[in-house]
Structure formats: structure tokens, C-alpha cells
Amino acid sequence: MAASTGILPLDLRDLRFAMGGRAIIDGVSVLIEAGPATIILGANGAGKSVLMRLMHGLLRPTSGQIAWQSRDAERVRRGQAMVFQRPVLLRRSALANIMYALELARVPAAERERQAMDALREVGLVDVANRPARVLSGGEQQRLALARAWALHPEVLFLDEPTANLDPGATREIENVIKAFDASGTKIVMSTHNLGQARRLGDEVLFIHQGRLAERAPVDKFFRQPASAEAAAFLKGELPWD
Amino acid sequence: MSTLGEIVALSLAVSLSAVALASLLGLPLGAAIAVGRFRGRRSIIVLLNALMGLPPVVVGLLVYLLLSRAGPLGSFGLLFTPPAMVIAQTFLVLPIIAALCRQSVEDAWVEYEEQLRSLGADGLRAALTLVWDIRFSLVTAVLAGLGRALAEVGAVIIVGGNIDGVTRVMTTTIALETSKGDLPLALSLGFVLIALVILLNAAAQLIKEAAQRRYG
């Protein structure tokens, strides 16, 4: 994807988000550029999910700016997709779930089924195309959510702890799909609790502590030698469960 | 004099028609209120919930005034006909179906909102998607409406007039036979009515369960 025609970079300037008087995101400024897979790390309640929802446009910031390179709001919206911790699938077949997303993206009716099948093939779910989405296993449901995102060909894919509820086997399958996204040129922005996963999939880490960006570093440097005291403490506390 | 079969058939025809009409209007209305963000929304929800308890006789009276010879719709000559009964019961049942649908859709919206907004489904589109997706739960709202319609006597007796062979339904017959002192007939009709309501609910429940097993 050529840089000049894309919606990236995404420029966050002094972003704040407060709820009930409590600052959840407290002055984050960061430039998200095309290319490296970005992992958002931080303790529970640090503000990782809220930060991604602000980027994706699901939440409005209390103050600060969220500026995409493209000013075309419709293009910016279509250039992104998000996969949530718990996949929300409609009570219809796996195939129909993807076709629904394509319909909303104004893909011509004649194209939808073929594109949806291509996406199912990408995540290895062609066999269950006609099964109701809600009776699939947890791992299959999350892969279907990824296929739905795949079909939309987003420039940026946000993933909010996509494997938090899954067993190791299903987690590996999800990671493979995320790698395929990365290889296809989609910008990955993912939050995770799984440090091994951060290392396997990430190129750079944004470490969030109490609503602030405490550290931004390449993955290997972050794990080898965190610059901030907060990140060092976080890694110390988390590593035994890695 | 109308036979028992005719009375039961008319009861079913009137109430099922009213519930079908009320569902057609009430389900989208309830969903739109659930998903919409507009001024006066809370007042409308309170009003809608309150209207679930509309007294049938009052609805009957209002529809009577609408349809009577001197009323705004008097020229259609609908008063004391089955269509008048359908209209009255539709008004009676509409708030029940809309209010229960509003609640169900709102609960589902909590789960679906972020995903649907992420995919670009806005207000009306999101509302219709939700209604279709929770269609099995909405069966309960429709059944509540049907129970109300089949059980009420106040509205149909005012706008229908309980005319033998024309607008006599089960509840109006029970009221009439009771006042005439034929308690055994009234009581047996009552049992038929209850059995019918149980039967309809059982059928709906079976369909709902089968569908839920199929679609999750």
C-alpha cells in the first residue's frame, strides 16, 4: 500500500479520555506509522483497550486530537477493522457473517460470496462456511472474526487481546492469521497480556502505565532492557507467568 | 346462534391479526427507540412502559369514538365488525410488544454495539440487524402480546358489541354466559381458552428451542 494514498500515519496529540471524573487516558501523544506491528502492553486497567477504541473511533476523546493522514472520514473508517477480545458474531452462517460486513462496506452483491469464501479460506474455515457462526468453537469464532476483518482489506487492524479467552492451540492458529495480515502489509495494532505473543508478533511496544505512554521501544530492546522503571517492574511481575 | 368452533375461530383470527399488525409496527419501533439517541427518549420509554398497562375498556372506548358514525373514521362503517376488534386489540398490544422489544434490543445492543459500529452499521440498519439477530428472544414479547389479546374482554366488547355470529368471541361469550347464569358453559369455555393459550405458547417454545439449538 503506497504511503501517499493510505490513511496512515495516525497522529495522536495529547489525547485524554476521562470517565466519571477519572482520567483513563491521560495525555498520550504518539505517531502510529505504517509498517511495524505495534503491541500495546500494560497492566489491567492501564488504558490499553480504551486507547485502541479511541484510535478506532469507537470512543470520543475528552480532549486532544486524533488525526489520520487522510481527511476523508469515510475512507478512514473503511481503512480500519477491529477484532475484539470476545468475537461478536451474528446468528447466521459463518459465510453470511462475512457477507454482512461486505454489504456494509458497499461491496457489490455479486462479489460478496466469492470474497467471503476467499477470507474463510485464508483462516482455514471453508469447511464450516455454512454452519451457524454461534455454534462454532471459541477459536473458530475468533478466526471467523479475523476472516471478517480480512475480507474488508483494512489498512490498519486493531486487535484487543484477541487470544485472551483461548487455549494454546487456538491461540497459535490466531497468531498465524495475524502474521498473515502483517505479511500482507496490514498495519497491526494489538494489545495483549501474553508477553510471549508480544515477542512473536510485535516489532515495537507501546507500554501504557496509568493512562500514560511510559515507554516506546523496539520489541527486543523493550524485553532486554526496558528504559522506564514502570516497564521494568511490569516485566518482572509478569514474567513468571509467561 | 354461533357454534363453539366459530367462536374459537373468530377469537383466534382477531387476536392473531392484531398481534401480527402490532408486531409489524412494534418491533421496529421498539428497536429504533433502543438504538436511537434523541431528545425525550427517556420520557418515551417511561410512557411506552406505562402503556403496557393500558386498560382494555379505555382502548375500546377510544377506538369506539374513532369509529363511531360521528367519529373521524366513522365513514368506513367498521364499528361492530371484526376489523374494529382487530384495530382495538392492535392498539392494546402494540405497547407491550414495542416495550418488551425495546428492552431486549437494548440489552443486545450492549453486546453488539462496538462490533456493529466498527463494521459501519448505523442507527436504523443496526436496529434491524439486532431485531433479526435476537428474533428467538422476541418470540416472548410477541407471546406476551398474544396472551393479552386473547384474554381481554373490555376492548372487543365495546367495539365489537358481542353480536351473535358476527363479533362474538370467547371472552365476550364467557362474560355473557356468566351474567345469564350459565356458569357450566362459561367455565368450560374458560378452560378451552386457557388450553388454547397454553397450546400456542408450547408450540412457540418448541419452535424457539429448536431454532436456538440450530443457530446458537
Residue B213 banded pLDDT, cuts 50, 70, 90: confident
Cell readout for A171 is 491461540
Which residues are within 8 A (CB) of B110 and not within 5 positions of it... i.e. 6 or more apart?
A: none
Return the number of other C-beta atoms located less than 10 Å from residue B38's C-beta: 9
Q: Which CATH superfamily is domain B4-215 in?
A: MetI-like (1.10.3720.10)
Q: Determine the Cα–Cα distance for residues A30 and B147; give it in Å rounded to an integer.
A: 59
- Interface contact A133-B216, CB threshold 8 A: yes
- pLDDT at site A176: 96
Residue of A nearest to B129 (CA): A90
- Of B142, B143, B166, the residue nearest B156 (C-alpha): B166
When scoring A91, A135, A137 by the number of chain B Cβ atoms within 10 A, the one with the most, hence best to mutate, is A91
Decide: residue A85, CB within 10 A, 0-12 exposed, 13-18 middle, 19+ buried.
middle
pLDDT for residue B125 is more than 80: yes
Residues belonging to chain A: 242
pLDDT for residue A206 is more than 50: yes
ipTM for the whole complex: 0.90
State whether residue A159 is helix, strand or coil.
strand
- Of A57, A63, A47, the residue nearest A15 (C-alpha): A63
**Angle at alpha carbon of residue A147, lines to A76 and A122, rounded to 5°:** 120
Residue A236 banded pLDDT, cuts 50, 70, 90: confident
pLDDT for residue B1 is more than 90: no
- pLDDT at site B4: 87
Cell readout for A105 is 462496506
DSSP state letter for A37: P
- pLDDT at site A5: 67
In terms of phi and psi (left: phi > 0; alpha: psi -120 to 50; beta: otherwise), the region of A205 is beta
Q: Determine the Cα–Cα distance for residues A11 and A13; give it in Å rounded to an integer.
A: 6
Closest partner residue to A104 among B114, B121, B215, by Cβ? B121
pLDDT for residue A2 is more than 80: no
When scoring B110, B117, B118 by the number of chain A Cβ atoms within 10 A, the one with the most, hence best to mutate, is B118
Question: Which CATH architecture fits A3-241?
Answer: 3-Layer(aba) Sandwich (3.40)
When scoring A88, A92, A136, A140 by the number of chain B Cβ atoms within 10 A, the one with the most, hence best to mutate, is A88
pLDDT for residue A67 is more than 80: yes
Letter string b/e over residues B52-90, b meaning 16 or more CB atoms within 10 A of that residue's CB: bebebeebbbbbbebbbeebeeeeeebbbbbbbbbbbbb
Per-residue three-class SS string for A177-238: HHHHHHHCCCEEEEECCCHHHHHHHCCEEEEEECCEEEEEEEHHHHHHCCCCHHHHHHHHHH
Residue B37 banded pLDDT, cuts 50, 70, 90: confident
Q: For chain A, what is the mean pLDDT?
A: 93
pTM, rounded to two decimals: 0.84
Return the number of other C-beta atoms located less than 10 Å from residue A66's C-beta: 17
Q: CA A131 from chain center: how many Å?
A: 26
User: What is the domain partition of chain A in residue ranges?
Assistant: 3-241
Q: What is the mean pLDDT of residues B70-87?
A: 94
Model pLDDT for residues A107-162, shown as the tens digit of each residue:
999 999 999 999 999 999 999 999 999 999 999 999 999 999 999 999 999 999 99
- pLDDT at site B131: 93
For chain B, how are helix, strand and coil distributed in percent, rounded to 5? 80, 0, 20
Q: For chain B, what is the mean pLDDT?
A: 93
Share of chain A above pLDDT 70, in %: 96
A236 CA to chain B: closest CA distance, Å? 34
Q: Determine the Cα–Cα distance for residues A81 and A149; give it in Å rounded to an integer.
A: 6
Q: CA B150 from chain center: how many Å?
A: 9
Largest Cα span, chain B: 65
Q: In A, which residues are within 8 Å of B137 by CB distance?
A: none
pLDDT for residue A239 is more than 70: no
Q: What is the mean pLDDT of residues A168-179?
A: 95
Chain B residues with a Cβ under 8 Å from any Cβ in chain A: 111-112, 114-121, 125, 129, 132-136, 214-216
Which residues are within 8 A (CB) of A74 and not within 5 positions of it... i.e. 6 or more apart?
A: none
User: What is the domain partition of chain B in residue ranges?
Assistant: 4-215
Share of chain A above pLDDT 90, in %: 88
Cell readout for B195 is 388450553
Q: What is the mean pLDDT of residues B175-187?
A: 93
pLDDT for residue B190 is more than 50: yes
In total, the C-beta contacts within 8 angstroms joining chain A to chain B are 47
- Interface contact B216-A78, CB threshold 8 A: no
Letter string b/e over residues A96-116, b meaning 16 or more CB atoms within 10 A of that residue's CB: bbbbbbbbbbebeeeebeebb
Q: In terms of pLDDT, which residue wins out, A2 or A176?
A: A176
CA dist list (Å): B31 to A44, A103, B27, B47, B111: 34, 21, 6, 16, 15
Q: What is the mean pLDDT of residues B185-202?
A: 92
